[in-house]
Structure 1
Amino acid sequence: MDNRKRKSWADYDIGRVEYKDGLTKFVKLAFESACDVTIACPCSKCVRYHRHSEEEVYDHLVINGPMRDFEKWYTNNELGSTSTLLGDGQVLQEKNVADDLTHMLGDAFGFHDEIVNDASNLDGQVDSDIDNQQTNDEHMNSNVDMFNKLLQDATMQLHPGCSEYSRLSFILHLYHIKNSFGWSDNSFNEILKLLKRALPEGEKLPESLYETRKIVDEISLSCEKIDACPNDCMLFWKDKATDDTCSLCGESRWKPFVESSSKASSRSKTKKEKKFPIKVLRYFPLTPRLQRLYMSSKTAEEMIWHDKDRKKEEGVLRHPADTEAWKKFDSIYPEYSSEPRNVRL
């Protein structure tokens, strides 16, 4: 008789009813909390490297069984913000939105969990002692001020009595929808006005898209805009940053300015016209993006997954680490490859 102690449905043999019942609940929950029609499949073959539909994920888990360390991933509630069913009626409670955002901000600004946990109390007020826990470095202090402000927004109710959204979480959701569906700037401003009239008195929404962007930009990774030649000959950068024409083809950097005669006559001749570039290159610096990946406790684990948790099988290609190029690089640079956090691009 099998007397093994089981914590969840994944501990049962694949053919058992307990396994199939738990699997059905797991797949349903996973896709209810997913942001897409596919999720990273946690079967022993895909090991979350390949994404599949609900039906395919179910079939894979029936045929292949769950991946190694599935229980650790499962019980850490990495399905999303919803609760996770473990079997035998045990449930991991849904995380509070404010707590999720607090830890997200802690990761983004590189503050340790103990500082983040001490930073806010039950009333959603920021503990000013966090300033005393940092160094006197000016850059660090500016980050602390920004962190404090965002932490206030993360713990502030959207309106009195609202437990579903904080001010910051609602702003981030609304801004994400704008970008996903291509809302114009004017339409976003009008929606903000409508929401401010519809929500109860005391709502904390920003007044405009401009104010919304100022909040979002504080936790975003910015890009650098560099004007380019319309014919892609050169960039107006470094020693060429102030040039008006391309040094190779002679093409103007700026869009031609067209103005009606009536406006031209009324405009002051001394006022400098604003110029608009014809073509702009957006440069996304790599270093801060890699740093952000290692600041987050969750993504830091994913960055070293290829070394710690990848299932290594000869003749099976499921990750770039399985390729001959990767293996050859490791053999040429053993000191570099010995540190799993080193990134290969």
Structure 2
Amino acid sequence: MDRSWMYKKRNTLEYVNGVLDFVQIAEEYASKIGENYIVCPCCDCRNLKKFRGIDEIKSHLIRRGFKEGYDQWIWHGENVPFSIDDVELDVEKDQSKEDNVRNDEDNERLDELMRDMQGDLNELPQEFETFFENSGKPLFSGCSKFTKLSSMLKLYNLKEKNMWSDKSFTELLKLLKDMLPDDNELPCSTYECGASRYERKGYNDACEKKKGAPAKVLWYLPVIPRFKRLFANSNDANNLQWHAIGRKEDGKLRHLVDSPQWKNINMKFPEFGSENRNLRLELCTDGMNPHGNMSSRHSTWPVLLTVYNLPPWLCMKRKYIMLSLLISGPKQPGNDIDVYLTPLIEDLKILWNEGVAVFDAHSQTNFTLRAMLFCIINDFPAYGNLSGYT
């Protein structure tokens, strides 16, 4: 669709009619998803501010113009622009169909992710802006088929599907970066971060090049940014107060909020209990064999967090159960599991002691979020490892 009118003179009839079409589409999309606010794409608001009525957005667009590069209206109902046939592989037709279905699902999930992130997002403007820009930035000058984000998603899908090692994937990225034009945006390594906080087995300062298999592998998915994302979505932010303002109170036990433990915590820590948005979390972990082979000694331990502020029909949905840690190794962690829980415990201590500043998209206010570990759910062997309950 030709939207060159968006960046022409704003006093023309073509531009004004285009703005009227845009606000109509934006209003229809907001009504469709049940949202009371509409994101403003003007060059000042830059899709980072929302307004209730379309008149103010219409005024912004006519007086200030559209944000540069926003010719695909992904914040107002359009899908993120990916091409299904971006990667050509010599595979059978049925496999190609399966890949296309997966690509469609990826598009929907990414689109949902970006919609969930909409809001003022005062706390994460730089990360938000970078993510948004990468979704529309060409891989290199003149490239209309790939964006920086879409190319990395395609490559990572191939990596996971074919079980490539990080080393081989990094070598592929380096090769592709050399083959592409000099101004390409492709990263040249798998990770762009600092050194690991954990030592490798067989690693020491005297012999930096000595290699050995890690004693165990730990993936930590930080929880604080994910809690901020929950509150950045207006519907989720509203649901997180269900335990205080949305439930039926008739003395019956329907949810943990009806339990004596919940009430005792509110009485013992009144400052914590007075803020409805403070989170009560449940932790669950156990070992599993991901290969489905009983003769294998390999053990993987996922550590999951559930938010009990949510109503009972949501808190156990897959969307709201957070994978915070994944411990993988040739055997179970046993009593040493506390070593692997350290990064999660550090974040939970921050959330309990100081709290973190969070933007609530439902009330359009900032507040200090605190959280506590309300309970843990495990079988008895895992209780023994976590709490010493033998």
TM-score normalised to structure 1 length: 0.35
More strand by share: 2
Higher relative contact order (CA 8 A, sep 6+): 2
Give 1 or 2 for the bigger CA radius of gyration.
Answer: 1
